[in-house]
Amino acid sequence: MWIIGAADSPAAAPTYFPIVNASSTDFAHPFGMTVPGNPAHERFPQFNIRHLVGNPADVAANQLWGDDSGVVR
C-alpha cells in the first residue's frame, strides 16, 4: 500500500509530497517512491524504492511528487 506522506515534507506540502510505502514500521525513514535521473530524458522511466532522504523537512527532489487537476482535453 502506498500513501501520500505530506507530513514528511511540510515545507513543500501540499504542492509536492513524497509517496511512501505503508508496509514498513520505520516511521523515521520510510521507503519512498524514487525516480532516478531525469525522467524527461527517458521514454519509460523506472521508479525505485529507497528510504526517504532528508526526512522529514528536506526530502530530496527525486522523491517528491505532485498532481495536476483539471479537465483532460
Domain membership flag for residue 69: no
Domain membership flag for residue 50: yes
Range(s) of the domain holding residue 8: 2-63
Q: What pLDDT is attached to residue 50?
A: 92
3-state secondary structure of 19: strand
Query: What is the tally of helices (H) and strands (E) in the chain?
Result: 0, 4
Domain membership flag for residue 45: yes
What distance in Å separates the CA atoms of residue 73 and residue 46, rounded to the nearest whole number? Answer: 27
Domain membership flag for residue 29: yes
Domain membership flag for residue 25: yes
Domain membership flag for residue 73: no
Cell numbers given for 56: 522529514
Domain count, the chain: 1
Q: What pLDDT is attached to residue 49?
A: 92
Tell me the pLDDT band of 73, cut-offs 50, 70 and 90.
confident
Report CA dihedral (59, 56, 2, 45) to the nearest 10 degrees: 10
Tens digit of each residue's pLDDT (9 = 90 or more) over 5-60: 877 776 766 788 889 998 878 877 889 999 988 888 888 888 999 998 877 677 88
Domain membership flag for residue 70: no
pTM score, whole prediction: 0.75
Using the predicted structure, report yes or no on whether residue 4 has a pLDDT greater than 70.
yes
Of 70, 55, 68, 52, give the one whose Cα is nearest residue 16: 68
